[in-house]
Amino acid sequence: MSDIYYNAKENFAGVIERLMGRYRVYAPVKQDRCHEFAPLRNAEEADLGFSNTRLSPKGLFHPQAERMFEYSLANDDPQAGIVKEAQKDFSPRVVLGVRPCDAKAFDLDDANFNTETIKDPWWVRRRETTTMIGLACDSPCSTCFCTSMGSGPYDTAGLDVLLVDAGEGYAAEVLSEKGKNTLSVTSGWTPVTSAILPLTHKKKAAEQSVGIAFDPAAIAKKQMLELYNSPTWEEVQFACINCGACTFVCPTCWCFDIQDEVCGDKGERLRLWDSCMFPLFTLHGSGHNPRSQKTQRVRQRFMHKLKYYQDKYNSGPACVGCGRCVQACPVNIDIRQVGRQMAAQTCSQPA
Amino acid sequence: MNNPYLPYPVRIDSAITETEDRNLKTFKLVFLNAQDEKKFAYTPGQFAILSVAGLGEIPIGIATSPTEQGFIKFTVNKVGKVTSHLHNMKAGEIMGVRGPMGNWYPWDLLEGKNVVIIGGGFAFTTLRSSIVYMIDPKNRSRFGKIDVVYGARSAGLLLYKDELAEWEKRSDINMHITVDSSSDPNWKYNVGFVPAVTKQKAPSAENAYAIICGPPIMIKFTLPVLTELGFPPERIISSLEMRMKCGIGICGRCNIGTEYVCKDGPVFTLEQLAGLPVEY
Amino acid sequence: MQPYSESIREAAKRLLLEKRVDAVIGFRKGTVPFMNEPFLARTPEQADQLVWDGNCAINLANYLPKRTGSVAIAAKGCDSRSIVIHLLENQIRREQLYVLGIPCQGMTDKRKIADRLNGRQVLQAEENGGKVLVSGRDFEQSFERAEFLQQNCAICTHKNPVLYDELLGQPVEEQQIDRYEQTSKIESMLPEQKRLYFDELVQPCIRCYACRNACPACYCPTCFVDESKPQWLGKTTDPTDTLTFHFLRAFHVAGRCTDCGSCERACPVGIKVRLFTMELEKQVKKLYGYEAGMTQDERPPLDAFRSDDPEPFLG
Q: Burial code of A260-269, b = ≥16 C-beta within 10 A, e = fewer?
A: bbeeeeebbb
Mean pLDDT of C60-80: 95
Residue C238, chain A, CB below 8 Å: the answer is yes
* Chain B interface disruption, residue of C222, C226, C228, most B CBs within 10 A: C228
Residue A65, chain B, CB below 8 Å: the answer is no
Q: Which of B230, B172, B213, B176 has its CA nearest to residue B198? A: B176
| Nearest chain C residue to A33, by CA | C115
Residue B216, chain A, CB below 8 Å: the answer is yes
Say yes or no: C15 and C164 in one domain.
Answer: yes
* pLDDT given at position A1: 43
**What's the whole-number average pLDDT of chain C?**
93
Whether residue B109 contacts residue B142, with contact meaning beta carbons closer than 8 Å, is answered with no
Range of the domain at C37: 1-106+156-177
Per CB-CB distance under 8 Å, the chain B contacts of C227 are none
CA–CA dist C104, C106 (Å, integer): 6
Task: List phi, psi (to 5°) of B221.
Answer: -90, -15
CA–CA dist B14, B34 (Å, integer): 18
Domain boundary among the residues C148, C177, C206 is at C177
Contact C228 B84 (CB under 8 A): no
Looking at the domain assignment, is residue C121 inside a domain?
A: no
| CATH code for the domain in which residue C80 is found | 3.40.50
**What structural domains and CATH numbers belong to chain B?**
8-101 (2.40.30.10), 107-239 (3.40.50.80)
Say yes or no: C201 and C259 in one domain.
Answer: yes
Whether residue A120 contacts residue A271, with contact meaning beta carbons closer than 8 Å, is answered with no
Query: For chain B, what percent of residues have pLDDT higher than 70?
Result: 100
Annotate C270-295 with DSSP letters as a single string: ---THHHHHHHHHHHHHHH---TTS-
Per CB-CB distance under 8 Å, the chain B contacts of A260 are 53-56
Say yes or no: C164 and C281 in one domain.
Answer: no
Residues 60-89 (C) with a CB less than 8 A from some CB of A: 62-63
Say yes or no: C240 and C173 in one domain.
Answer: no
Q: Which residues pair with A36 in a beta bridge?
A: A29
- CA torsion sign for C213, C218, C220, C222 is negative
- CA torsion sign for C307, C310, C313, C314 is positive
Pairs across B and C, CB distance < 8 A: 6
Chains that touch A (3 or more CB pairs under 8 A): B, C
Contact C231 B80 (CB under 8 A): no
The residue type of A194 is S
CA–CA dist A247, A329 (Å, integer): 10
Say yes or no: C2 and C34 in one domain.
Answer: yes
Say yes or no: C206 and C252 in one domain.
Answer: yes
Q: Is B122 a residue whose pLDDT tops 80?
A: yes
CA–CA dist C94, C83 (Å, integer): 9
Cβ count near A293 (within 10 Å): 12
Residues 74-133 (B) with a CB less than 8 A from some CB of A: 77, 79-80, 83, 93-96
Say yes or no: C279 and C200 in one domain.
Answer: yes
Q: What is the pLDDT of residues A38-94, one digit of tens each?
A: 999 999 999 998 999 999 999 999 999 999 999 999 989 989 999 999 999 999 999
CA–CA dist A251, A268 (Å, integer): 26
Q: Which residues contact A193 (CB under 8 A, 6 or more apart)?
A: none
Residue C256, chain A, CB below 8 Å: the answer is no
Looking at the domain assignment, is residue C206 inside a domain?
A: yes
Residue B55, chain A, CB below 8 Å: the answer is yes
Q: Is B129 a residue whose pLDDT tops 50?
A: yes
* pLDDT given at position A196: 60
Q: How far is C265 from chain A (nearest CA, A)?
A: 7
* pLDDT given at position C146: 93
Residue B9, chain A, CB below 8 Å: the answer is yes
pLDDT confidence tier of residue B280, bands split at 50, 70 and 90: confident
Q: Is B17 a residue whose pLDDT tops 50?
A: yes
Per CB-CB distance under 8 Å, the chain A contacts of C63 are 238
Task: List phi, psi (to 5°) of C149.
Answer: -80, 160
Q: Decide: helix, strand or coil at residue B146.
A: strand
Looking at the domain assignment, is residue C116 inside a domain?
A: no
Say yes or no: C39 and C169 in one domain.
Answer: yes
Say yes or no: C206 and C227 in one domain.
Answer: yes
Q: How far is A64 from chain C (nearest CA, A)?
A: 7
At CA A244, angle to CA A104 and CA A137, rounded to 5? 30
Nearest by CB: B94 against A82, A308, A311: A82
Looking at the domain assignment, is residue C127 inside a domain?
A: no
Q: How far is B82 from chain C (nearest CA, A)?
A: 10
Q: Decide: helix, strand or coil at residue C159.
A: coil
The pairing of strands B208-213 and B190-191 is: unpaired
Number of domains in chain C: 2
* pLDDT given at position A193: 74
Residues in chain A: 351
Looking at the domain assignment, is residue C133 inside a domain?
A: no
Contact A260 B53 (CB under 8 A): yes
Q: Which residues contact A105 (CB under 8 A, 6 or more apart)?
A: A56, A58, A158, A251, A252, A320, A322
CA–CA dist C57, C149 (Å, integer): 10
Mean pLDDT of B111-137: 94
Task: List phi, psi (to 5°) of C176.
Answer: -100, 125
pLDDT confidence tier of residue C63, bands split at 50, 70 and 90: very high
**What's the whole-number average pLDDT of chain B?**
94
Say yes or no: C232 and C209 in one domain.
Answer: yes
Q: Which residues contact C37 (CB under 8 A, 6 or more apart)?
A: A239, A331, A332, A333, A334, C27, C28, C29, C30, C31
Per CB-CB distance under 8 Å, the chain A contacts of C53 are none
Say yes or no: C193 and C303 in one domain.
Answer: yes
Annotate A234-256 with DSSP letters as a single string: HHHHTT-----HHHHH-TT---E
Pairs across A and B, CB distance < 8 A: 129
* Chain A interface disruption, residue of C27, C28, C31, most A CBs within 10 A: C31
Q: Is C1 a residue whose pLDDT tops 70?
A: no
* pLDDT given at position C315: 63
The pairing of strands A93-98 and A24-31 is: parallel
| Nearest chain C residue to B56, by CA | C228
Q: Burial code of B79-102, b = ≥16 C-beta within 10 A, e = fewer?
A: ebbbbeebbebeeeebbbbbbbbb
| Nearest chain B residue to C227, by CA | B81
Looking at the domain assignment, is residue C119 inside a domain?
A: no
Per CB-CB distance under 8 Å, the chain A contacts of B77 are 285
Q: Which of B214, B131, B225, B227 has its CA nearest to residue B180? A: B214
Per CB-CB distance under 8 Å, the chain B contacts of C228 are 80-81
Say yes or no: C164 and C253 in one domain.
Answer: no
Nearest by CB: C210 against A139, A143, A244: A244
Q: Which parts of chain A register pLDDT below 70? A: 1-2, 194-197, 349-351
Indicate the helix (H) or strand (E) that contains B228.
helix B216-229
Contact A332 C270 (CB under 8 A): no
Q: What is the pLDDT of residues B159-215, one digit of tens each?
A: 999 999 999 999 999 999 999 988 888 888 999 999 999 999 999 999 999 999 988
